[in-house]
Amino acid sequence: MDEMPGMIRPDLQALPQVKDRMTFLYLEHCTLGRQDGAITVTDEKGVVSVPAAGISVLLLGPGTRVTHRAMELMGDTGVGAVWVGEHGVRYYAHGRPLTTHAQLLLRQAELVSNTRKHLDVVRRMYQLRFPDEDISHLTMQQLRGREGSRVRQVYRKASKDTGVPWSGRLYRPEDFASGDAVNQALSAGHACLYGLAHAVIVALGCAPGLGFVHVGHECSFVYDIADLYKAEVTIPIAFEVAAQAPEDLPAVVRRRVRDAMVEHHILERMVHDIRYLLLNTDEPEQEPEVVYLWDDRIGTVANGINYFEKEEGEEPS
């Protein structure tokens, strides 16, 4: 039988870490294919090859078609895929984690399940956003009130600086055009931030649905992480672009957000902040690549061993 075409699936150790990749790439009205280790982007102007292992997430706009081979490559190299429609954004797919360990996932589950530890993570999240405040003894209710007040200040300042009227976050996810210019700009900017956060979370092996401030949604942790950077990136950009009133507002917002993510090192900071929130450190622990078996008395036991114990009166096999 002839060998299957294409490159051999790369080992995870051979792939660039998520913090070393580009943030995101937006594409529309094109077909995505695969040529060896590159994603090919074809439209009426020609073909462009994009190294798959150098991208964190692809934002796929209207008119985008993706071949099975392209999705296979994206899965092998840990590239996230977000389909961006005219009436909102949905996260449909992601690549495999860029790790073989469950360390962060287990720690995330432990913190979510313990009320005291859960609240500690929420406090650290708030401290990352507003480092000038002492919130070490605030309750969850007090934190929500403090956060609401600070976020309203951010919106009011952006409105005052740009002259764009602000009457609140009013939008319908199923009807993008129903919002005013600044709400459309916020939706477009936040979509880029959500896509990058989702890709980073998955690449690190965490669960997008195990959130701390947000709960009950499959993207709860995505919203938690994205919120850390909205006041710095997407909110001021949305108001600035809305004040300029460009013809293609979403496209201008995406480009501005992309540039701001690079300028402020958002991708690298996401990796650092997630590790800080879950482990209190940014240094990865070197663990052997191994699968354990769970034991209710001692925690874990070695895999690949026959633990059969002969029952009384039974002859050994």
CA distance 21 to 52: 10
Backbone angles phi, psi at 73, to 5 degrees: -65, -40
Residue type, 187: S
Q: Which amino acid is at 158?
A: A
CA 105 to chain centre: 14
Q: How far apart are CA 72 and CA 95, in angstroms?
A: 9
Binding residue per annotation — 214?
yes
Q: Say what angle helices 234-244 and 249-263 make with each other, to 10 degrees.
A: 140
Strands (E), the chain: 22-27, 30-35, 38-43, 46-51, 55-60, 64-66, 80-85, 88-93, 292-295, 299-302
Burial class (CB in 10 A: 0-12, 13-18, 19+), 10: middle
Burial class (CB in 10 A: 0-12, 13-18, 19+), 50: middle
Which pair of structure tokens corresponds to residue 49?
A: 């090859």
Say if residue 264 carries a ligand binding annotation.
no
Amino acid at 201: I
Q: Which residue has the tokens 């190299």?
A: 77
Quick one: DSSP state of residue 53? Answer: G
Unique residue bearing structure tokens 């913090």:
19
Q: Is 227 labelled a binding residue?
A: yes
Rg, Å, the chain Cα set = 23
Q: Determine contact, residues 254/200, Cβ cutoff 8 Å.
A: no
Q: Alpha-carbon distance 285 to 103, whole Å?
A: 9
Q: Which residues are annotated as a binding site for Mn(2+)?
A: 147, 214, 227
Q: Which residues are annotated as a binding site?
A: 147, 214, 227
